[in-house]
């Protein structure tokens, strides 16, 4: 028996959103910043993403993170996030999973009752405060990069749906944010297929009609995520959401490509984007908790720490609190004779994947 590669990973989820964390088998990649390392992986080593996220080793709802040595001396560890069709600069659920794996596996030392550390994400340095008890991470609070609204109450035309009014905000990725009731949807698992289909259509139209570029990094451009919002169902929650993540390349002429997958958690960066929009409207002040409910009924708690600016945009610095759970330890092997070293996709669940 011979293998070309073995990748070691820890399987975890935050609020139901799976965030696999690669801990061994990839020593480092070139790049003088974590964003540059992310770009190197995207341009030259994308077979790692395909290997880990596609079948038979992955599935559409999975995210994956690669632990890497930090490039900034202020950071304790670095990581790059891989999703089905993109490498996001930042992700809340993945940050919570990475932090939990770093501490619960002993890669970084845990100090009870509180551990503080700094992570280097492609978006920049992320300060993290972790509550710990009996060797278990019981809560992760991270201070995100600034979030801001780029468009408020913009009406776009969506083929087959009609006019849709939405907001566009950056919370670590670019989000189009839509009130689900506006198009007759409820945020419920039973409506998952309709949510995904309509979300992908609105996202494609918004991306075409409302261009966005991050003022500090022109490589962070274009709406990539659609967030539906609704009133909360859980007692004590302040809002509910679900986020539509693409699993392929959208084509208006091919309905089989109008597919994606729902974020199972309350979505950390989506919560940041929604809070930035609410603050811009005067609906959410600083230093007030915002409990955000997911489609599964799990929650993340957000809070706006301070105001700032990003280029021409008034912005806010958000913090997110959530918890992750480790559910598996895995060794992934690549046999040189395996015909699926890059994984595979089948249209019954993947739709149009490039």
Active site residues: 91
Q: Residue 23: left if φ>0, alpha if ψ -120 to 50, beta else—which one? A: alpha
E strands, 96-235, are 114-121, 124-133, 136-143, 148-158, 162-170, 174-179, 213-214, 217-221, 225-230
Output DSSP code: residue 255. G
Residue 120 in contact with residue 72, Cβ under 8 Å? yes
Closest to 311 (Cα-Cα) out of 223, 244, 217, 182: 217
How far, in Å, CA of 180 to CA of 322, rounded? 24
- What tokens appear for 292 in the block? 């955000």
DSSP code, position 304:
E
Distances (CA, A) of 329 to 48, 81, 335: 18, 19, 20
The closest alpha carbon to 147, from 109, 92, 77, 200, belongs to 92
Contact 199, 207 (CB under 8 A): no
Angle at 36 between CA 32 and CA 40, to 5 degrees: 115
Q: How far apart are CA 142 and CA 144, in angstroms?
A: 6
Which is nearest to 52 in space by CA: 350, 351, 343, 345? 343
| Whole-angstrom distance, CA of residue 216 vs CA of residue 225 | 20
Angle at 265 between CA 152 and CA 20, to 5 degrees: 120
CA distance 49 to 55: 11
């Amino acid at each position: 028996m011979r293998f070309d590669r073995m990748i070691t990973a820890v399987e975890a989820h935050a609020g139901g959103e799976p965030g696999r964390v690669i801990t061994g088998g990839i020593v480092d990649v070139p790049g003088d910043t974590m964003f540059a390392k992310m770009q190197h992986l995207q341009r030259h080593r994308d077979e790692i993403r395909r290997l880990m996220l596609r079948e038979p080793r992955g599935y559409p709802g999975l995210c994956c993170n690669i632990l890497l040595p930090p490039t900034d001396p202020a950071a304790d560890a670095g990581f790059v996030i891989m999703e089905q069709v993109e490498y996001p600069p930042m992700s809340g659920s993945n940050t919570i999973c990475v932090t939990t794996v770093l501490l619960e596996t002993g890669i970084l030392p845990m100090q009870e009752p509180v551990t503080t550390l700094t992570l280097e994400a492609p978006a920049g340095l992320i300060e993290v405060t972790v509550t710990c008890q009996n060797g278990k991470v019981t809560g992760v609070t991270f201070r995100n990069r600034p979030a801001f609204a780029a468009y408020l109450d913009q009406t776009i035309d969506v083929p087959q749906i009609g006019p849709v009014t939405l907001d566009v905000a950056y919370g670590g990725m670019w989000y189009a944010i839509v009130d689900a009731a506006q198009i007759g949807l409820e945020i419920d698992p039973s409506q998952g297929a309709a949510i995904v289909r309509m979300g992908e259509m609105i996202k494609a139209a918004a991306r075409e009609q409302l261009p966005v570029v991050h003022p500090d990094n022109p490589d962070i451009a274009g709406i990539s995520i659609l967030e539906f919002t609704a009133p909360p169902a859980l007692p004590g929650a302040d809002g509910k959401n679900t986020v539509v993540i693409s699993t392929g390349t959208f084509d208006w002429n091919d309905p089989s490509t109008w597919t994606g997958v729902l974020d199972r958690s309350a979505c950390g960066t989506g919560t940041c984007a929604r809070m930035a929009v609410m603050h811009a409207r005067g609906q959410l002040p600083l230093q007030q908790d915002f409990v955000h409910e997911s489609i599964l009924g799990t929650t993340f708690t957000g809070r706006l720490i301070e105001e700032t600016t990003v280029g021409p945009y008034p912005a806010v610095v958000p913090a997110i609190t959530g918890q992750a759970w480790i559910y598996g330890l895995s060794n992934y092997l690549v046999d040189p004779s395996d015909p699926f070293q890059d994984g595979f996709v089948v249209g019954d669940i993947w739709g149009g994947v490039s």
